[in-house]
Structure 1
């Protein structure tokens, strides 16, 4: 077990530039921009009446979700390139013979890479995303305090919003990682065989499979097949009606502010709605598929390197 944990830690050390140093630099730039925006008056914090108690809280909620969405895009792209690069790193840096001499199987090595992609690597980015929200909210609250438009009651409300949205983002992250696990494993398995060429192959493979179905079984065109419809379903992110309804209620912000009838975001309700709506059968099949393709890639890696 210690050896496996060490392998996962190795993945973080080798890719900390993309999963820690890069996000930390982006966070520093974002923090500097936020301070500049508030200090030069680009953000108006002079509010009164119902707007003073309602609008800032709406902005905090939407702003945190915006940050979470931006960091999720960064993480999705980074994980895709990690799977295409990390699974071939041993071969590329000529360390394959060293790892072959260790009492660790090829399957465990590849499994450690996938484990890192599901745990420590997205966990670091998620932690930086949470820190970015703290810094942005801190700058906003300090600025409003200086202008006399903030209160301890508002700080308590903001703290509650922070934990509710953080819970929702965490559950969404876990659900997305499980949902897209088979695609990550497939890219990594291809990379174990062909290296960085896994990126274009992974992008073209679904189209080729759909085209093969169209040629053999017929249909209107390659994008009107059962394969393509299944891929569209599996590539679509997990949905939750709660989030759609809540964001829809924010369309009339002025009316909600004047009436004071807006409801705060409920992270527990969001998480429950998301988890209940997930296709757990597909997630289970995806886990089995991921383990299978990683095992096949490990056998290919073992046999090729032994020869």
Structure 2
């Protein structure tokens, strides 16, 4: 167990640039731009303060939510590139002989990479998300102070927005990672086999499977098959029913204390049977890739 934990920790050490240092630098740049905008007169602090004082906490709720969505897109893209590159890194940097000399199987090495992709690596980015949200809310409060207005939000108001958004982002991140686990495992397995061409290869396989069904069973075209419909379903992460009500309702009247409701609703509507099937598929393709890697390297 200690060896497996060390392998997972190694992934964070080797890829901390994309999952920790890079996001921290982005946060620093954004905050620097914000501070400069307020101090050199690019943003009218009085007008900004008036708006923040008039509009309800829903403004900060939506701003924090959009910030979390932006970080989620960054994380999603980074994770897939990590799976494409990280699973082939040992072969590329000539570390394969070193790992072959260790009492660690190829399956354990690849599984450590997969576990890292849904635990410690997104966890590092999530901590940066929490930091960026805290800085953004603090900047909003400071803007009120600069404008000479009273601190309309107050500590409790800001905390309500913060922890509700944090809960929403945490549950959404966890379900999305579990939902997309088979896709990440497929890209990682392809990375262990074909290297950096993993993402095109992983995209090609489902297309070939759908085309094979179309050729053998018929249909209008390769993208009107049961295989493609299932893949389209699995490619869309579940979201709470609250999202639709937020889209159609007045955004300024949104309940900023709905974090627990959102989390419970998302957990309830998630197809956990499909999550389990995806987990089994992920372990299976990683095992196949590890056997391929072991046999190729032994020869």
* TM-score > 0.5, shorter chain as reference: yes
Give the whole-Å Cα distance in 1 for the aligned partners of 2:175 and 2:102.
34
252, 264, 269: which one pairs with 2:256? 264
2: CA distance, partners of 1:190 / 1:244: 36
Report Cα offsets for 1:141-194 as digits up to 9, x if no partner.
112112232427533111111001100100000000000000000110111111
SS of 2:239's equivalent in the other structure is coil
The number of residues matched between the two structures is: 296
2:57 match: secondary structure: helix
The alignment status of 1:290 with 2:282, answered yes or no, reads yes
Following TM superposition, by how much is the alpha carbon of 1:25 offset from its aligned partner in structure 2, in angstroms?
1.2
Residue 247 to residue 149, structure 1, CA distance change in 2 (3 Å): farther
2:193–2:292 Cα contact (<8 Å) kept: yes
Residue 249 (structure 1) shift = 2.3
3-state DSSP class of the match of 2:220?
Answer: coil
- CA deviations 1:17-61 (Å, max 9, x no partner) are 11112111111111112223333253632427xx735x2512210
What is aligned with 1:59? 59
**Native 8 Å contact 1:182 1:286 kept in 2:** yes
Question: Who is 1:42 aligned against?
Answer: 43
Query: 1:274 aligns to what?
Result: 266
| Conservation of the 8 A alpha-carbon contact between 1:130 and 1:166 | yes
CA contact (8 A) 2:191 2:197 kept: yes
The whole-number CA distance in structure 1 between the counterparts of 2:228 and 2:259 is 34
Counterparts of residues 130-149 of structure 1 (less than 5 Å): 130-149=130-149
Quote the residue 1:259 is aligned against.
Answer: none
Where do 1:182-197 residues align within 5 Å?
182-197=182-197
Separation in 1 of the partners of 2:63 and 2:160?
A: 14
Match of 1:176, SS state, is helix
Residue number in structure 2 paired with 1:95: 95
